Structure 1
Amino acid sequence: MKAQPALPGRERPTGRASVLRTATAWLRRSPQAVLLTVTAVLATAFAVTPAYADDPGLQCAVSATGQISVEPSPVVYGQNAVVRWGADGIACGAEDALVISGPGFDPSTTDFPVGGGSRSVFIGSTGSVTWDVTVVDLSSDTGFNRHLASVTASVTGVTVVPDVRGDTQAQASQAISAAGYVLGSVSTAVDCDNVGVVRSQNPSAGTSRPLGSTVAITIGKKPAPPRICE
């Protein structure tokens, strides 16, 4: 039988376009097949090549394992602690990096090579603190990353500045010392309601500060003559 010539403007679609157009026509006829068709199209489009076949950095990020720890644990408020981390993976190279987040680290500006490392950090937070290590594929257009490990430590040794307002200088000095702090500068200011006693302090009462920090006080005094306190 002689083949019929193709109609003008109706060329037979080929390749991926053929798959998509055929699927579209099928869906119009059979809405119930939506899920099966979408699955088939995705499989056709992406099953040919592994996700990381042309991106060695992604292979490292997918396969990487890691750990992170802190010493001492619990950590001590107002003192330094040492954070240690390590990670490894398949085919890790310069296109891969580790991002550490937590006190003492700025993940937005600093990354580390895949491997091990440590850093001494100051503990200035109360309650508990957490550090995380994440592997990042720097060569990936999508910025592929995967969280590897985290560590959380409670903070001990938290002390607060006592309230010495209304105390004499001697009383304030004793209270500040008993709390583990040091009396700092002592100034005076006209204050008829607090003559001879502490009218203000810095830091304010209840503020967390490392032991050994200074606390400044201001003592109230009478105004210079001829002014008088009413």
Structure 2
Amino acid sequence: MRQASSPAHRRLLTGAAAGLRRRAARVARSPRAVVLVVAALVATAFAATPAYADDPGLNCAATATATISVTPNPVLYGHNALVQWSADCVANTAEDVLVISGPGFNPSTTVFPVGGGSQSVFIAQTGTVGWNVTVVDTSSDTGFSRDLASVSASVVGVTTVPDVVHDTLAQAGQALSSAGYVLGSVGSVVDCDNINRVSSQTPGAGTALPAGSSVSVKIGKKPAPPAQCQ
């Protein structure tokens, strides 16, 4: 069984407790303690309230998220691709817009509200193509913008115009057909080195051109008399 504390022991404990209370009171009344308390309160307020909380436009721009995709991926040269995007933020306002940049979009004029959408674009570039989503706070007091998402795709199925210069008209037509093109307008030009043969073509050889496009040619001919080929 535990024995009861002696009177002397109880007096010692009581005195120690009183001393701790007096020390705590002195610390609470000191200027340094007041400064520490105020600093803690200010830090807590900033942590709980973002700096942009009183600016709805900036609030959205700073918290926005977005996605963007292109279908198909890789994209096919000379065909359409579908670019789709979506975005969200905290309490967007009329000051907040999305800017989509990339092939088929003009970022200086094509501005979209926060939300989402899609657009069919024609792929007329080679190599790699890409699109970006940027959120912009258009209010005059901030002018804040931030890149949110991007997507890129390689371009496949690129075909180029064959060289048909010096070919006969029949040969040129066959070469163009085999490459997936059609013979367009046929003109003539004085060319003593290519009489009855292709003197020039438009577009030129090696030009990337969607299949099914037409290629125009000019056939060489003799000069009108009395001029003669030398």
| TM-score, scaled to structure 1 | 0.77
Contact map agreement 1:58 1:140 (CA 8 A) in 2 = no
The residue type equivalent to 1:92 in the other structure is N
Q: Which runs of 5+ in 1 are unaligned?
A: 1-46
The residue type equivalent to 2:151 in the other structure is V
**Equivalent position of 1:10 in the other structure:** none
**Equivalent position of 2:79 in the other structure:** 79
Quote the sequence identity (%).
69
More helix by share: 2
Q: Which runs of 5+ in 2 are unaligned?
A: 1-45
Aligned residue pairs, count: 185
**Equivalent position of 2:53 in the other structure:** 53
RMSD across aligned positions (CA) = 1.7
1:147-176 alpha-carbon deviations (Å, 9 max, x no partner): 111000111111110010110101100001
Residue pairs, 1:82-121, within 5 angstroms: 82-121=82-121
Larger radius of gyration: 2
Deviates more, 1:135-144 or 1:151-160: 135-144
- For 1:130 and 1:167, how far apart are their aligned partners in 2? 39
**Equivalent position of 1:32 in the other structure:** none
Contact map agreement 2:128 2:155 (CA 8 A) in 1 = yes
Deviates more, 1:205-214 or 1:218-227: 218-227
The runs of at least 4 aligned residues of structure 1 exceeding 2 Å deviation read none
Deviates more, 1:132-141 or 1:170-179: 132-141
- For 1:57 and 1:140, how far apart are their aligned partners in 2? 10
The residue type equivalent to 1:187 in the other structure is G
1:79-133 alpha-carbon deviations (Å, 9 max, x no partner): 1111000011111122111010000111111210101100111111000100000
- For 1:181 and 1:207, how far apart are their aligned partners in 2? 12
**Equivalent position of 2:180 in the other structure:** 180
- For 1:64 and 1:127, how far apart are their aligned partners in 2? 31
1:165-193 alpha-carbon deviations (Å, 9 max, x no partner): 11010110000111100000111111111
| TM-score, scaled to structure 2 | 0.77
- For 2:92 and 2:224, how far apart are their aligned partners in 1? 75
